[in-house]
Chain A
Amino acid sequence: MIKFTNVFKAFPKGGLALKDVSFHIAKGEFAFLTGHSGAGKSTVLKLVYAEERPTSGAVRVSGFTVAEMRRKDVPMLRRRLGIVFQDFRLLEDRTAEENVAFALEVTGARRSTTPARVMRVLTQVGLAAKAKAYPRELSGGEQQRVAIARALVNEPTVLLADEPTGDLDERATRGVFQLLRDINASGTAVVMATHDLDLVRQAPYRVIELQEGALVYDSAVDESRGQAVTP
């Protein structure tokens, strides 16, 4: 599904962002990506959705090899992924349902089925009643739910979430996290970058920890050997 093999990523001015990172996330898995800010979590996610390319090593995502992808294949990869950010990235001048429908429209999906599919995901995230609301009329948690609905509407195999609860209060955080767990329970793999360790401790999911660009802990590998770096 997602496979990093000896991945290095250097930025022209930023030095080495990732150093020899290898891991494999299987279909339907839920994995936390943890570490301090600047540890390389976002870089890992950017490599997954082909916003960046590895300097060396291989990144493979659901059949695509990121380093060799042509520019025009990138949208095809992204349609198989759902991406959620800390800052929601909603279009301010469109309603919740328009924001979600937009993700369907860009893929050229059949227009006759759009309203039903949009309503279904909005119901799934618990926002069916606020379909006509604009982002500014919604709370942070609600905006993030719209973003998640948008990520889900194309039925992705993986949901990438970059600090999805970073800007949310505790209550909204719990709600969004529960939603991600529900989504995972229905078969979608979830990769969630976060530095919220309380959240990480709450659930029995895999944890991959990065420190200054290096992978220092992977519960799937290290726990079997009984040497956890981070509890």
Chain B
Amino acid sequence: MNLVIREALLAFRRAPLLSSLSVTTIAFSLFVVGLFGLVAVNLQRALREVAERVEIVAYLLPGTPIETITLAEKDIEAFPEVQAATYVSEDSALARARAELVEFRDVLQELERNPLPASVEVKLKPAYRDVQHVNEVAERLQGFGFVDDVRFGRDWVEHLDRLRQIAAAVGLVVGAAFAVVAIIIIGTTIRMAVLQRSREIAIMRLVGATDGFIRRPFLLQGAIKGMLGGLAAIGLSYGAYALINRWLIHAAFFSTEQAVAIVGFGMLIGFFGSAASVGRHLRRV
């Protein structure tokens, strides 16, 4: 077995208590990050669902020939922002109104003439469901000669935008704060492991070990601890998620990529935390 791997694994056997303490500390630090991540993931999902409903409706002038509309529909769908454009004829608009506006069913039944205009309903791609892009597309639609009026819930889209900005800012700040706290706690834990072995490090240096030789097992060990802590954190998060799902609300869990990212984050902190601690220690002895 490779010497570096052997030395790294031996440390777990020699100091099982401190090692498991490190892993536990890392696990709980990352669990806090993970819990926040779960909130962020679910908030994002909820916002995405709301954003699904962002829609621009272009009302058409009466008597626009269907061929023109079909062509225009193709044009609109070719806009880079547009996911789908759907033509809604006067008749189907009325049918929909009858089905949806139950309170006005009687009024709608007694109509002699259909007062509803035909329209093209435009749905944007997820990345473009914000005020700026909605405005741009609306203006472009207005440019079609047969378009009478363009509507979208401006206030509503603006609110959604604002909500998204707040969510992003809070996510960034709180997420970064949690991450920093995790890094500090994990760094301290790893530093303890290094200090615990300072005698050993001094002896290694006396018998002619290079800094790299001393450092490598620590780095590997740090990465392993970070990985184990990350896996445990995912497990804890899953437990929390299962409880929430069962008793409170229907929530989403991390995607595989996100779970891998958390474990990877743990490994990185473990690795670089060890590098920093051992480096600092080696410079002093």
Binding site for B on A (CB under 8 A): 49, 71-72, 74-79, 83, 89-91, 93, 102-103, 105-108, 150, 154
Sorted nearest first, the 7 A-B pairs with minimum C-beta distance are A106-B209, A79-B208, A78-B208, A103-B207, A75-B208, A75-B210, A93-B14
> A106, B14: Cβ atoms under 8 Å?
no
> Inside 8 A of A108's CB, which chain B residues have their CB?
213
> Inside 8 A of B207's CB, which chain A residues have their CB?
78-79, 83, 102-103, 106, 150, 154
Known: A72-B211, A75-B210, A79-B208. 18 other contacts (CB 8 A): A75-B208, A75-B211, A78-B205, A78-B206, A78-B207, A79-B207, A83-B206, A89-B203, A89-B206, A90-B203, A91-B203, A93-B14, A102-B207, A105-B3, A106-B207, A107-B208, A107-B209, A150-B207
20 pairs from A and B in contact (CB 8 Å cutoff): A49-B206, A72-B211, A75-B208, A76-B208, A78-B206, A78-B207, A83-B206, A83-B207, A89-B202, A89-B203, A89-B206, A91-B200, A91-B203, A105-B3, A106-B204, A106-B209, A106-B213, A107-B209, A154-B207, A154-B208
- A103-B208 in contact given A89-B203, A91-B200 (Cβ < 8 Å): yes
Within 8 Å by CB of A106, from B199, B202, B208, lies B208
> Inside 8 A of B206's CB, which chain A residues have their CB?
49, 78, 83, 89
What's the minimum C-beta distance from A11 to chain B, rounded to whole angstroms? 15
Considering residues B14, B199, B202, B207, which has the most beta carbons from chain A within 10 angstroms of its beta carbon?
Answer: B207
What's the minimum C-beta distance from B231 to chain A, rounded to whole angstroms? 27
> Inside 8 A of B208's CB, which chain A residues have their CB?
75-79, 103, 106-107, 154
Binding site for A on B (CB under 8 A): 3, 14, 199-200, 202-211, 213
Q: Which residue of A lies closest to B7 (CB)?
A: A105
- For the complex, what is the distance from the CA of A79 to the CA of B209, rounded to whole Å? 8
> B203, A71: Cβ atoms under 8 Å?
no
- For the complex, what is the distance from the CA of A75 to the CA of B209, rounded to whole Å? 6
Considering residues A49, A71, A72, A106, which has the most beta carbons from chain B within 10 angstroms of its beta carbon?
Answer: A106
> Inside 8 A of B205's CB, which chain A residues have their CB?
74-75, 78
- For the complex, what is the distance from the CA of A72 to the CA of B199, rounded to whole Å? 20
What's the minimum C-beta distance from A188 to chain B, rounded to whole angstroms? 16
Q: Which residue of B lies closest to A89 (CB)?
A: B203
Q: Which residue of B lies closest to A88 (CB)?
A: B203
> Inside 8 A of B200's CB, which chain A residues have their CB?
91
Considering residues A49, A72, A103, which has the most beta carbons from chain B within 10 angstroms of its beta carbon?
Answer: A103
- For the complex, what is the distance from the CA of A49 to the CA of B203, rounded to whole Å? 13
> Inside 8 A of B3's CB, which chain A residues have their CB?
105
What's the minimum C-beta distance from B18 to chain A, rounded to whole angstroms? 13
What's the minimum C-beta distance from A13 to chain B, rounded to whole angstroms? 16
- For the complex, what is the distance from the CA of A33 to the CA of B190, rounded to whole Å? 41
> Inside 8 A of A74's CB, which chain B residues have their CB?
205
What's the minimum C-beta distance from A67 to chain B, rounded to whole angstroms? 19
> Inside 8 A of B213's CB, which chain A residues have their CB?
106, 108
What's the minimum C-beta distance from B281 to chain A, rounded to whole angstroms? 14
> Inside 8 A of A102's CB, which chain B residues have their CB?
204, 207
Q: Which residue of A lies closest to B14 (CB)?
A: A93
- For the complex, what is the distance from the CA of A154 to the CA of B208, rounded to whole Å? 10
Considering residues B199, B203, B209, B213, which has the most beta carbons from chain A within 10 angstroms of its beta carbon?
Answer: B203
> Inside 8 A of B210's CB, which chain A residues have their CB?
72, 75, 106
